[in-house]
């Protein structure tokens, strides 16, 4: 079999369901391999044409979030890999495993099957193609010989899925893929198992003792709990021990928003009072310039890489660092805390009424602020209306500078995802496509700002949604500007010249395109809303369309800048 065909067959054997691919002139051995395997009745991953590589990376990201299974992306030499770079940065920041492959322009000019045949064979050559994404990759390699295929696929898969997980990259020279050799057993089990981190029991027991002895403990979570069982474990810990849980800049839901200890998004005032803080898998658990823990506060970090060693500058106190898969760590912590509760009962019951009242007031203020006052539509109000529209549905909401988490009522794990902290825009739309591909029966709602929608290569994403019949709901919260940039300027220069200008430089996106017509070009159901009173009905019509027609829908909502 050709190395190209063997590569595809081995990917299926190790657990890859889909190859999200944008083909190029380096793909003939891959395409021939697909046809060869089909002719020989060899099971392969399903290869899908994705007309832009950033969408391919976003779909692999979303599919993993929905299933926990790493997928493959194949790109065209250096130019396709360059388009993958932003998605690789997003996956690396969020510890999402992706098996990324791209062709490498042929090395030889003649004399071998696969040698250069067109001018781009010269134009696409680089001395170090891997440098395009090396900082976002856990491991990278160039396939040298066809007989390496099984071991290289196995190693790539194992490293990508080891704690902490993340993307890996392999370049594929065309001449190598064109070679044919005999392979013993491409369907054999994975030969290299991923390495999973497990915390030392003594260290976890020390964390339990610190939390049990605390007068004002606090939990800060950012990236969920790792599993549905661990989601329940954290809810039990917070309830039984009366510990507030703050989800500061959460990218995954760690606790139901209506839980009596779900303390919102802002660490203040809890962080200023806390004597023990448990940080669960947080890249940046608070803002050092704004939030000031007590000097005597003990801080525990728990996660697959609790110190986030990939990032050069990150200094948050960590008196106890627990290296563990998050789910395993939380389940172990719940077990160790249980026998300590009796002795800690007086402290627990002393703080419970205060914490419950604070949480209640915070939630009440959030919902009151999100209600419509008859003026321009706010993002918070869109969240509130969306929350009501999806009640009773098995739904997941993705937000990329779109609907804020605070006004939503969500009480199930895996029901909320925010844009990666790497800030690579255009993530929400293709990630939602990947999630829908994994489970077409679930209502997947991608919410985003107008700038994020433009970054997503929207026509390509709409084409994918139509071609694959993925019934997602897209909400564009259109304020005709780079709102995050404007808020950042105001945060640093609140009384500066830019703040006083009639139009802040480098922030306007006006005039925005007609987003409804862009969606309609791919036969999507689409509508635009400018009045808050119309929003609930339009959202309901969009959901009804998805449930009955099973095609995607878009709602553009004009919101307050």
- pLDDT tens digits in sequence order for the chain, 561 residues long: 889 989 999 999 999 999 999 988 788 888 888 888 888 888 899 999 999 999 999 999 999 999 999 999 999 999 999 999 999 999 999 999 999 999 998 888 899 988 888 898 888 899 999 999 999 999 999 999 999 999 999 999 999 999 999 999 999 999 999 998 898 888 999 999 999 998 889 999 999 999 999 999 999 999 999 999 999 999 999 999 999 999 999 999 999 999 999 999 999 999 999 999 999 999 999 999 999 999 999 999 999 999 999 999 999 999 999 999 999 999 999 999 999 999 999 999 999 999 999 999 999 999 999 998 888 999 999 999 999 999 999 999 999 999 999 999 999 999 999 999 999 999 999 999 999 999 999 999 999 999 999 999 999 999 999 999 999 999 999 998 878 888 888 888 988 888 888 788 888 888 889 999 999 999 999 999 999 999 999 999 999 999 999 999 999 999 998
pLDDT at 120: 87
pTM, 2 dp: 0.96
Half-sphere exposure of residue 364, counting CA atoms within 13 Å on the CB side?
6
pLDDT at 319: 97
Contacts of 253 by beta carbon, 8 Å cutoff, 6+ apart: 224, 231, 247, 405, 410, 412, 413, 414, 415, 416
Domains recognised in the chain with CATH numbers? 3-178 (3.40.50.970), 201-369 (3.40.50.1220), 371-558 (3.40.50.970)
* Strand 71-75 versus strand 395-400 pairing type: unpaired
Place of tokens 């020279």: 173
| Gap between the Cα atoms of 379 and 559, Å rounded | 6
The answer to whether the Cα torsion of 22, 26, 32, 34 is positive or negative is negative
| Gap between the Cα atoms of 508 and 510, Å rounded | 6
pLDDT at 41: 86
pLDDT at 107: 87
- Residue 280: C-alpha distances to residues 294, 325, 347 (Å): 19, 10, 23
The number of beta carbons lying within 10 Å of the beta carbon of residue 236 is 14
pLDDT at 30: 86
pLDDT at 193: 96
| Gap between the Cα atoms of 554 and 99, Å rounded | 31
| Gap between the Cα atoms of 91 and 160, Å rounded | 11
Structural element, H or E, at residue 278: strand 276-280
């Amino acid at each position: 079999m050709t190395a190209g065909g063997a590569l595809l067959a081995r990917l299926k054997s190790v657990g890859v369901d889909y190859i999200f691919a944008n083909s190029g002139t380096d793909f003939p051995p891959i395409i021939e391999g697909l046809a060869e395997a089909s002719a020989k009745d060899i099971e392969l991953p399903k290869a899908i044409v994705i007309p832009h590589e950033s969408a391919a990376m976003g779909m692999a990201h979303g599919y993993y979030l929905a299933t926990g299974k790493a997928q493959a992306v194949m790109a065209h030499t250096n130019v396709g890999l360059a388009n993958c770079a932003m998605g690789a940065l997003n996956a690396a920041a969020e510890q999402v495993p992706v098996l990324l492959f791209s062709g490498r322009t042929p090395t030889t000019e003649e004399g071998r099957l696969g040698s250069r045949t067109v001018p781009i064979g010269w134009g696409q050559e680089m001395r170090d193609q891997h440098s395009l994404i090396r900082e976002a990759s856990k491991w990278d390699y160039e396939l040298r010989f066809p007989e390496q295929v099984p071991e290289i696929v196995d190693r790539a898969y194992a490293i990508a899925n080891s704690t902490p997980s993340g993307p890996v990259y392999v370049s594929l020279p065309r001449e190598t893929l064109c070679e044919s050799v005999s392979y013993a057993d491409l369907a054999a089990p994975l030969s290299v198992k991923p390495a999973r981190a497990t915390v030392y029991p003594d260290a976890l027991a020390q964390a339990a003792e610190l939390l049990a002895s605390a007068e004002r403990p606090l939990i800060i979570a950012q990236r969920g709990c790792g599993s549905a069982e661990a989601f329940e474990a954290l809810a039990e810990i917070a309830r039984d021990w009366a510990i507030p849980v703050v989800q500061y800049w959460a990218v995954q839901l760690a606790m139901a928003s209506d839980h009596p200890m779900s303390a919102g998004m802002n660490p203040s005032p809890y962080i200023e009072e806390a004597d023990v803080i448990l940080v669960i898998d947080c890249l940046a658990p608070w803002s050092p310039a704004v939030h000031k823990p007590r000097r005597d506060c003990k801080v525990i970090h728990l996660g697959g890489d609790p110190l986030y060693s990939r990032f050069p500058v990150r200094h948050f106190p960590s008196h106890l660092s627990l290296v563990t898969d998050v789910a395993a760590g939380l389940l172990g912590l719940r077990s160790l805390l249980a026998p300590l509760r009796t002795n800690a009962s007086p402290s627990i019951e002393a703080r419970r009424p205060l914490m419950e009242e604070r949480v209640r007031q915070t939630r009440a203020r959030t919902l009151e602020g999100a209600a419509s006052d008859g003026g321009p539509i706010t993002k918070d109000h869109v969240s509130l209306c969306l929350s009501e529209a999806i009640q009773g549905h098995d739904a997941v909401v993705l937000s990329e500078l779109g609907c804020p988490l605070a006004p939503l009522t969500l009480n199930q794990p895996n029901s909320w995802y925010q844009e990666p902290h790497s800030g690579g825009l255009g993530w929400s739309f293709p990630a939602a496509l990947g999630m829908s591909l994994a489970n077409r029966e679930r209502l997947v709602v991608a919410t985003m700002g107008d700038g994020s929608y433009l970054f997503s290569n929207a026509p390509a994403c709409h084409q994918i949604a139509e071609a694959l019949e993925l019934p997602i709901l897209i909400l564009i919260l259109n304020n005709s500007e780079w709102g995050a940039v404007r808020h950042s300027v105001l945060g640093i220069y609140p009384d500066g010249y830019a703040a006083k200008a009639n139009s802040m430089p480098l922030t306007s996106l006006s005039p925005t395109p007609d987003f409804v017509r862009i969606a309609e070009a791919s036969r999507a159901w689409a509508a635009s809303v400018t009045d808050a009173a119309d929003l609930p009905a339009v959202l309901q019509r969009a959901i009804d369309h998805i449930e009955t027609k099973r095609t995607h829908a878009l709602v553009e909502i004009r919101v307050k800048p």
